[in-house]
Structure 1
Amino acid sequence: MKQEPKAENEEIIVGRNSVMEALKSGRSINKILVAQGDRQGSLREIIGKAKEQGLVVQTVDMARLDALGGPKHQGVAAMVAPVAYVELDDLLQQVACSGKTPFLVLLDELEDPHNVGAILRTADAAGVQGMLLPKRRTCPLSGTVAKTSAGAVEYVPVARIGNVAQTLKYLQQQGYWIIGADMEGDKLYHEADLTGPVVVVVGSEGKGLGRLTKECCDLLVRIPMAGNINSLNASVACSLLLYEIVRQRGLK
């Protein structure tokens, strides 16, 4: 039986009262784990509140919760992020007030925590002002992400978002230019003008960007590949794009 790993620095909260208080307080929760079976009383209330907040609620068997929190879990556990997420509008306001050209990264269906951590580390070095992580099908902040980022998770604000396509359209309305990394992109990455307000969108190694995500991009760029393997590690591809922006903007 596969057990939910507890990543380093990631807190596990168990018990109905404790989880409910975490929900009420606005803690940065990655997901809620609920035991199979009847969901009455306070457990039903927890599930409802979690869904109101757009959190992932995952059904697991009782043994999995036993392994996480011992016998006092009362059928529910919350996996809490090592640092707090920020609200998207707060992040955009912070960027607008910075006096710098907006520079954001959005990860689309990137599930490897080591890649997410590595991208955070490069993002901090390149001067990225914030990262956007979808609530579903993308690795949330965890202890593994924090460790791989070498501390960058403390400095790059991370916002969790709902629907990716809707978020990208909203960002376009705010004046952002959406640049997607894709093997069949319209231009080579160094031929594109990346000097304006940009959101760099990176997908998973296997699937790349989702179809709807591609359709929302203003421009798709590709990285030239001369070898026999037709894709790069996601964090490597993202690093190339971020430092091309650094080069074009003349940042020092």
Structure 2
Amino acid sequence: MAKPGRPGAGNSKKKGPSKGTGGHGRKALEGRGPTPKAEDRSWHVAGKRKAAQERYVAAGGKPKPTQQNLNRSARSKQADDTETVTGRNSVLEALRAKIPATALYVAQRVEMDDRVKEMLSIATHREIPVLEVTRPELDRMAGFDGVHQGVALKVPPYRYAHPQDLLEEVFADGGTPLLVALDGVTDPRNLGAIIRSTAAFGGQGVIVPQRRSAGVTSAAWKTSAGAAARVPVALASNLTATLKEFKKQGVFVLGLDGDGDVSLPALELADRPVVVVCGSEGKGLSRLVTETCDQIVSIPISQATESLNAGIATSVALYQIATMRAAQAG
């Protein structure tokens, strides 16, 4: 019966917590404690799986990886930023350059030519693990379009030089700088081809911008045919600022563009310190880089051909400069 002056108030004599109150007194203060993990609940699917695995291990079986361990393994794999160098020339050059490789992979029943023998000799001498694997495994390591020729080498992430250090080192050695800078070249195979051409025509290094540019990946290693082990690649945080700094130190900045003011055969000053700047095949040189160049040079080509890709254009320019320098030196 409700008390006077308190409409709706109850006067129940029932003991214990009332329904909907959450409980009163000591039981309410104690609570039920933290919720146990799913694997610790015997009625839960995860708990049943854990119990089954414990019975399996007790019977002598090997423990199976849990989902947590699988996730951790996947994260470790993603954090593994090593590169895989493939191809006999590339692998051999990397070993000759004493790059700190972590493992040499050789296909089963590989054809043992002189290059493979030298690889094995260098790896043994430097105590680099040599692992024999199947060709399908090498195919997987080389990637979709990689050609491994039966060998692969695990190397640490590429260590880029600083542009200023690169230039100072050339001056310190008494050489005349012949460098290549890339503006917006995003294909690593083009980068590899340019590194190879730089080595072939006496260049001392390649400069790539930090953003919107290909890096020295396994594809670049492969295309360079091992030249990436000999020609340093520098990373510029700002390519335009780097080129301006080079100009202050007497370096002639030469841009390649189809609409250039000067035809490459008529180029002068090739005996000066030079940095050849090449843009992407589609967009060419960016506006800021174009304004920074001392001279924009075009390569004469047939009207039937719209343009040259970055690798070929740079190769032609480097050949022309190397030829001019050789003629002037003679």
CA deviation string 1:195-240 (max 9, x = no partner): 2110000011011111111000000000112232320121111111
Letter in 1 for 2:292: C
Higher strand content, 1 or 2: 1
For 1:219, the aligned partner's letter is Q
Which residue is 2:79 aligned to?
Answer: 77
Structure showing greater relative contact order (alpha-carbon pairs closer than 8 Å, 6 or more residues apart): 1
* 1:154-195 CA-partner distances (Å, limit 9, x unpaired): 111111001111111001011100000001101001111122
Structure 1 runs (4+) deviating above 4 angstroms are none
* CA–CA distance in structure 2, aligned partners of residues 72 and 234 of structure 1: 36
Report the residue type matching 2:204 in the other structure: Q
SS at the partner of 2:254?
Answer: strand
Q: Identify the match of residue 240 of structure 1 among 316, 322, 325.
A: 316
Corresponding position: 1:171 with 2:171? no
Q: Unaligned regions of 5+ residues in structure 2, if any?
A: 1-69, 84-156
Partner of 2:294: 218
Alpha-carbon distance in 1 for matches of 2:81, 2:182: 21
Which entry has the higher C-alpha Rg, 1 or 2? 2
What CA distance in whole angstroms lies between the structure 1 residues aligned with 2:75 and 2:262?
56
Q: 1:141 aligns with which of 209, 216, 231?
A: 216
Distance 1:108 1:203 in 2: 5
Matches of 2:312 and 2:259, distance apart in 1: 17
Question: TM-score, normalised on structure 1?
Answer: 0.69
Instruction: Give yes or no for contact 1:83–1:154 (8 Å, CA) kept in 2.
Output: no
Q: C-alpha distance in 2, partners of 1:100/1:196?
A: 11
1: CA distance, partners of 2:256 / 2:75: 46
Aligned residue number for residue 95 of structure 1:
170
The secondary structure found in structure 1 opposite 2:308 is coil
- Aligned counterpart, 1:122: 197
Instruction: Give the drift of 1:73.
Output: 4.2
Question: Aligned pairs, how many?
Answer: 185
1:77-96 deviations in whole A, cap 9, x for unaligned?
37456432112222122111
* Residue 37 (structure 2) aligns with: none
Cα separation, partners in 2 of 1:229 and 1:142, compared to 1, 3 Å: same
Q: Secondary structure at the match of 2:79?
A: strand
Structure 2 counterpart of 1:77, one-letter code: A
- TM-score w.r.t. structure 2 length? 0.53
The answer for unaligned runs of 5 or more in structure 1 is: 1-65
The 2-side partners of 1:79 and 1:94 are apart by: 29
Q: Distance in 1 between matches of 2:79 and 2:259?
A: 42
Alignment-derived partner of residue 184 in structure 2: 109
Query: Partners in 1 of 2:258 and 2:164 — Cα distance?
Result: 31
Are the equivalent residues in 2 in contact too, given 1:115–1:235 (CA < 8 A)? yes
Inter-partner Cα distance in structure 1 for 2:219 and 2:271: 33
